[in-house]
Structure 1
Amino acid sequence: MKISEMKQALAGLDAVNFQLPDGSFLPSHFHVTEVGLVSKHFIDCGGVERRETVANFQLWEAGDYDHRLAPQKFLHILKLSEKILGREDLNIEVEYQQATIGKFGLRFDGQHFVLTTKQTACLAQDACGVPAGQFALPQLQVAGCTPSGGCC
């Protein structure tokens, strides 16, 4: 989800709710504690230099059970964050504390903001010997059965 899409969604809401990938919801007293610009400059395993930039939102909850973030307040936070984010329509990444800090993508289902799982991937599959379009998964062997053996 891009910042412009979030702003558009917030404009039509009465309440802001975030849903986790497992279907549960963040407590309604959550806070947006940070809105930041995260830039990643790296080299993939094939030696290609890459850059990625996202708007990062950190969600947090405390014991202030009467706290509610209204859509207009969230829009105000986004307006303030333009000092850091600029006016570029960036993709949004969400951080939320669970057993460890989780990083999520974001989508809107028409009513709620849904945190989506993120996956790692090899960006240079040809340089690593991974055939295009295939994932490198651990090879399972169960009772003499192998993935290429025809029994799975």
Structure 2
Amino acid sequence: MKLSEIKEILPTLDDVVFQLEDGTFVPEHFHVTEVGQITKKFIDCGGVVRNEKVVNFQLWNADDYEHRLKPGKLLNIIRLSQNKLGIEDAEIEVEYQSTTIGKYDLEFNGKHFILKNKKTACLAEDACGIPLATEKKFSVKEEKSSCCTPNSGCC
């Protein structure tokens, strides 16, 4: 979801609700502690220089159980960050604390914002020699072994 999309959605909501993909809700007393833009310049394993830019929201739970972030307040925080920091219209990445800081993509299901699990991937599969998922072929050996040992051919 891009920043422009959340700005269109927020005025239509009564409450801001974030939900993880597993169905767990972010506690309703969360705070948005940061809104910013992150620029990442890196080189992939194939030697290609890449640039990535995301708008970052950081969610944090405090012991402030009376706190409820309303859509208008979040919209004001977004506008302020655009004015003060020059944040561009880019994809939103959400940081949220679980056992460690997790990074999530953001979607909207018509009622709640969904924190979608991010996955790593090789950006230069052609240069790495890793076969694409559609090209992978597996052969099944006719011989069966009761135990899988090194060089047995079972795995």
TM-score range normalised by the length of the shorter chain: 0.7 to 0.9
| Aligned-residue offset at 1:5 | 0.6
Deviation per CA, 1:56-96: give whole Å up to 9, x if none: 0000011110100000000000011102243x211000000
| Aligned-residue offset at 1:132 | 3.3
TM-score by length of 1: 0.87
TM-score by length of 2: 0.85
Structure 2 spans left out of the alignment, 5+ residues: 143-155
Q: Secondary structure at the match of 2:39?
A: strand
- Percentage of identical aligned residues: 59
Q: Look at both structures and tell me which one has the larger radius of gyration over its CA atoms.
A: 2
AA at the equivalent of 1:5: E
Aligned twin of 1:27: 27
Deviation per CA, 1:13-34: give whole Å up to 9, x if none: 0000000111010111000000
Structure 1 spans left out of the alignment, 5+ residues: 137-146
Q: Give 1:26-105 correspondences, 5 Å limit.
A: 26-82=26-82, 83-86=84-87, 88-105=88-105
Aligned twin of 2:17: 17
| Aligned-residue offset at 1:11 | 1.0
Contact kept? 1:28, 1:68, Cα under 8 Å: yes
AA at the equivalent of 1:7: K
Aligned twin of 1:127: 127
Q: Moved runs in structure 1, 4+ residues, more than 3 A?
A: 132-136
Contact kept? 1:30, 1:62, Cα under 8 Å: yes
